[in-house]
C-alpha cells in the first residue's frame, strides 16, 4: 500500500499560520522581540465631596483639562446660612468667655453685699420676735405655737443670711478655672464647626487633579448629588502604557527598565521602557494569540510610554519592539 499524501492549499496554510502572527513573535533578527498589545491609561473618576445641587458643569466629553482647572461648582446657599449661624454662636460663646475672665462687675458685688445686709436685718428682727415670744411663754402669757412659729421664722432668716454671704463670697472670688476652661472649649467647638463649613464651601468648587481628557460625563448641571456622587471620568493620557503578554520562553529576554520601541499601526514610533513584569503566569486571554498554541500561560508586561504629545489613546493597538542586550544575544548564540 502506497503512503497517503495530503496536499494543503494556500487558504488552509494561511489559517494554520495565523496564530504565529499575534501577541509576540519571532523575527529574522534574533536580538529583537516583538510583542503586540493595546494601550491603556489611568482613568480618574471625579466626584463631588459634598452633597448639593450641581450649579455649573460645562465640561463635555473630549474636552482637554489641566490640573487645577475648575470643572464644576456645587450650590452653597445652605452652607452660607450655616456659616452665618455658626458665626453668631461663636460671638455668643466668646462673650460668655469674656465675662468669665473679667469676673463680676463692681455693681454686682455691691448688690450682693446689700442682699447680705437685708438678710441680716431680717434675721435680727426674727431673733427679737423669738425672744419676745419665749418671754411671754415663760410668764404664761404666750403659747407654744407662737414661740415655735417665731423660731421657724428665725431659722429661715438665718439660712438666707448664709446663702447671701456665700453668694457674695463667690462673686468676690470670680469664675473658677474649670468654668473658664469650659467657656474656652465652647469657643473652640464653634471655631471648628466654622472651619468645617468653610472647607465644605471650598470643596464646592471641583477641580481636576490631573492633566487629561474628559472621556465620560456622568452628571448634568441642575442635578441633586449626594456626597461622593460622580461627575465625570478624566483619562490621564500622560500616564499611558502598552500592555503585552509574553510567553515563558521569552521572559528571560526582558528586564525592568529595558528600553523598547513602540510602533503604531500607521508607522509612528515612540520610545518606551518596561515598567512592569508580572511575577505570576496567567492563562492566555481570549483576544491574545501566541506563537505556539501550546503556550497556555503567559506573563503580563507593561511598557511605559512617553505620551506628552497625546499620540497614544486607550484601546489603541501598538507593537513593542524590545532589543536584547549584546550579552543576551551572545549567550543565546553560544547555546
CA gap 113, 109 in Å, rounded: 6
C-alpha distances (whole Å) from 115 to each of 16, 163, 168, 325 are 113, 10, 9, 102
Residues 6+ apart with CB under 8 A from 26: 291
DSSP-assigned letter for residue 256: T
Task: List the domain boundaries for the chain.
Answer: 23-75+211-335, 81-198
The answer to whether 26 touches 49, Cβ cutoff 8 Å, is: no
Residue located via cell numbers 523575527: 27
**Phi/psi zone of residue 175: left (φ > 0), alpha (ψ -120 to 50 degrees), beta?**
beta
Residue located via cell numbers 472649649: 185
CA gap 242, 40 in Å, rounded: 6
Give residue 284's pLDDT.
Answer: 67
Give residue 325's pLDDT.
Answer: 60
- In the chain the beta strands, taken as DSSP E runs, fall at 24-25, 32-47, 52-57, 64-65, 70-74, 205-207, 212-217, 224-225, 230-247, 259-264, 269-277, 282-283, 297-305, 317-323
Residues 6+ apart with CB under 8 A from 218: 230, 231, 232, 233
The answer to whether 235 touches 62, Cβ cutoff 8 Å, is: no
Q: pTM for the whole thing?
A: 0.64
Give residue 17's pLDDT.
Answer: 31
Helix (H, G, I), strand (E, B) or coil at 306: coil
End-to-end distance of the chain based on CA atoms, in angstroms?
43
Estimate the share of the chain in helix, then strand, then coil, as percent rounded to the nearest 5.
40, 30, 30
Helices 106-138 and 144-173 cross at an angle (nearest 10°) of 160
Phi, psi of 103 (to 5 degrees): 80, 180
Give residue 98's pLDDT.
Answer: 87
Q: Which CATH number fits domain 23-75+211-335: 2.40.30.170, 2.40.128.520, 2.160.10.10, 1.10.3470.10?
A: 2.40.30.170
Cell numbers of 14, please? 494561511
Local confidence pLDDT in tens for the 335 residues of the chain: 333 333 334 333 333 333 333 444 545 577 788 888 999 999 999 999 999 999 999 999 999 999 999 999 999 999 999 999 999 999 999 999 988 887 777 777 778 888 888 888 888 888 888 888 888 877 777 788 888 888 898 899 889 988 888 887 777 767 688 888 899 999 999 999 999 999 999 999 999 999 999 999 999 999 999 999 999 999 998 889 999 998 888 888 899 999 999 999 999 999 999 999 998 888 766 555 444 544 568 899 999 998 888 899 899 999 999 987 655 545 544 55
Question: Which helix (H) or strand (E) covers residue 14, if one does?
Answer: helix 10-17
Give residue 295's pLDDT.
Answer: 53
Give residue 249's pLDDT.
Answer: 83
Give residue 288's pLDDT.
Answer: 54
CA gap 63, 174 in Å, rounded: 66
The answer to whether 219 touches 230, Cβ cutoff 8 Å, is: yes
Amino acid at each position: 500500500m502506497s503512503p497517503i499524501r495530503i496536499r494543503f492549499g494556500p487558504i488552509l496554510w494561511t489559517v494554520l499560520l495565523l496564530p504565529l502572527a499575534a501577541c509576540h513573535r519571532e523575527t529574522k533578527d534574533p536580538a529583537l522581540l516583538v510583542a503586540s498589545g493595546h494601550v491603556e491609561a489611568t482613568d480618574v473618576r471625579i466626584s463631588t465631596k459634598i452633597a448639593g445641587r450641581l450649579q455649573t458643569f460645562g465640561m463635555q466629553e473630549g474636552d482637554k483639562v489641566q490640573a487645577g482647572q475648575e470643572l464644576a461648582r456645587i450650590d452653597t446657599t445652605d452652607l452660607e446660612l450655616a456659616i452665618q449661624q455658626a458665626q453668631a454662636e461663636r460671638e455668643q460663646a466668646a462673650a460668655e468667655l469674656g465675662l468669665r475672665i473679667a469676673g463680676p462687675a463692681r455693681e454686682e458685688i455691691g448688690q450682693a453685699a446689700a442682699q447680705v445686709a437685708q438678710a441680716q436685718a431680717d434675721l435680727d428682727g426674727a431673733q427679737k420676735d423669738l425672744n419676745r415670744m419665749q418671754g411671754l411663754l415663760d410668764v404664761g402669757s404666750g403659747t407654744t405655737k407662737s414661740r415655735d412659729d417665731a423660731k421657724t421664722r428665725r431659722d429661715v432668716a438665718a439660712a438666707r443670711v448664709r446663702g447671701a454671704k456665700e453668694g457674695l463670697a463667690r462673686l468676690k472670688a470670680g469664675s473658677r478655672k474649670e468654668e473658664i476652661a469650659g467657656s474656652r472649649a465652647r469657643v473652640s467647638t464653634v471655631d471648628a464647626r466654622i472651619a468645617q463649613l468653610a472647607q465644605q464651601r471650598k470643596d464646592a468648587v471641583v477641580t481636576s487633579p490631573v492633566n487629561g481628557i474628559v472621556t465620560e460625563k456622568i452628571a448634568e448641571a441642575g442635578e441633586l448629588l449626594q456626597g461622593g456622587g460622580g461627575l465625570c471620568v478624566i483619562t490621564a493620557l500622560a500616564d499611558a502604557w502598552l500592555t503585552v503578554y509574553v510567553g515563558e520562553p521569552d521572559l528571560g529576554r526582558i528586564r525592568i527598565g529595558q528600553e523598547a520601541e513602540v510602533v503604531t499601526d500607521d508607522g509612528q514610533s515612540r520610545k518606551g521602557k518596561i515598567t512592569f513584569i508580572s511575577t505570576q503566569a496567567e492563562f492566555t486571554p481570549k483576544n491574545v494569540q501566541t506563537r505556539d498554541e501550546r503556550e497556555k500561560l503567559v506573563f503580563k508586561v507593561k511598557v511605559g510610554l512617553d505620551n506628552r504629545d497625546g499620540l497614544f489613546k486607550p484601546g489603541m493597538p501598538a507593537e513593542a519592539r524590545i532589543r536584547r542586550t549584546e550579552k543576551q544575544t551572545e549567550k543565546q548564540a553560544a547555546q
